Chain A
């Protein structure tokens, strides 16, 4: 069996629609992960002991379980309790929550490792706690974490491939469908791989450029 260009071209529109869907899922899950991660980190910081333990347990659970288990649980088991989510919603929620847990660890590390001088400066300027966090601590943490956070977004992008198992029409799903329809698998999966890579490399470069930019100070 050799590479068939004509067939390859014929499945491109389907694959590109999969690329678009992959993007949408990545953006939604990524935004959820970044926001939720921040929320978890700040809540974990201020929460009283027992709540802190709860937050900790949640993070460990989300990071400790295979994503597929969570995905299947959310998609197949939750409906038994009346919670019926669309494949798309399930995928975004599960990826967002799992990587939110990972991101919260990045933020937490960022908060812990801020130089004491920054806190001192805020205290010496008498900044209210709200201002200290909103204008100094968190912006600095986000800037210092750009590399790690960006890396997780790229991981989310790759992990969207898992959503093939619950039928979200991401890139891998469209490739699989094309393969099943024609019994030709070489072209769809090769092209899927190439497309994943083509979009991933620029993202990695962007993250690195962003990191360098931040390292120079300012933004």
Chain B
């Protein structure tokens, strides 16, 4: 990596506690540009917090976090907003704005953040809806769509801002099983067709295995083990990883 681009995401000795609960403890992880990395581990191991810290939704107590080489830990609100423009995040609960149509959901940030005019924004919104196969839903309201469709819209909405790094937080966990596939298909397409960096948390082990360049096993706020998916899923070196993988694959 000498002399090459800085890592897309770089967590160095990050600590985070909520009250007395230590969520991350000396968490260190580097994600290279264009890489797709999946965080796995038992619930409560701090996976979601890693994403929320990267998105600047939470502040770390200790350590440093860098996005594309720039530290986001001790910067002004204005600076952090500028850096956050490189990031996009999709949530477990979709978080679409229920009072706006699908098109308005996609237009809003383009118009206020990218400062595009109405027609330019809408044209891009339609393009992105087409990409997730939901062009015909542009004028619907979120609650008129299925969970899977809402999540595809949420993905499209995040992508309209052309983030360099995409954070996906258990984006299929709130979905009925038969709707999981369509959402993962979109993620697969995006990661394959663009040079976007993706850090995701998922409980879909098969998907993690297919899509990831690297899988990171977390427990108790630390990285236990990281390896390419084939290695990690077939020959995990840590007993905790072995136990976790056995447990989830049994289901």
Contacts and interface: CB of A to CB of B under 8 A. Distances in A.
Interface of A: 115, 117-118, 120-121, 123-128, 131, 135-136, 139-140, 143, 216-219
13 contacts: A115-B93, A115-B95, A118-B95, A120-B57, A123-B55, A123-B57, A124-B91, A125-B108, A127-B108, A135-B112, A218-B101, A218-B143, A218-B144
A216 B84 CA distance: 33
Contacts of B96: 121
A126 B91 contact: no
Given A118-B95, A121-B97, A217 B56 contact: no
Given A121-B97, A131-B112, A218 B56 contact: no
Contacts, number: 69
A46 to B, nearest CB: 15
Contacts of B56: 123
Residue among A127, A139, A218 with most chain B CB within 10 A: A218
B81 interface: yes
A125 B141 contact: no
A186 to B, nearest CB: 50
B53 to A, nearest CB: 12
Contact of B144 (A121, A126, A217, A219): A217
Interface of B: 55-57, 81, 84-85, 87-89, 91, 93, 95-99, 101, 108-109, 112-113, 141-144, 157-158, 161
Contacts of B157: 125
Contacts of B57: 120, 123-124
* Chain A interface main SS type: helix
Given A124-B88, A124-B91, A125-B161, 7 more contacts: A118-B97, A120-B95, A121-B95, A126-B161, A131-B112, A143-B99, A217-B98
A121 B161 CA distance: 13
Given A117-B91, A120-B91, A131 B108 contact: yes
A126 B99 contact: no
A40 to B, nearest CB: 23
Given A123-B56, A125-B108, A218 B141 contact: yes
A136 B143 CA distance: 16
A125 B109 contact: yes
Nearest to A217: B143
Given A125-B113, A218-B144, A140 B98 contact: yes
A216 B113 contact: no
Contacts of A123: 55-57, 84
Nearest to A142: B99
B55 A140 contact: no
Contact of A126 (B84, B93, B101, B143): B84
Contacts of A218: 98-99, 101, 141, 143-144
B123 to A, nearest CB: 19
A177 to B, nearest CB: 46
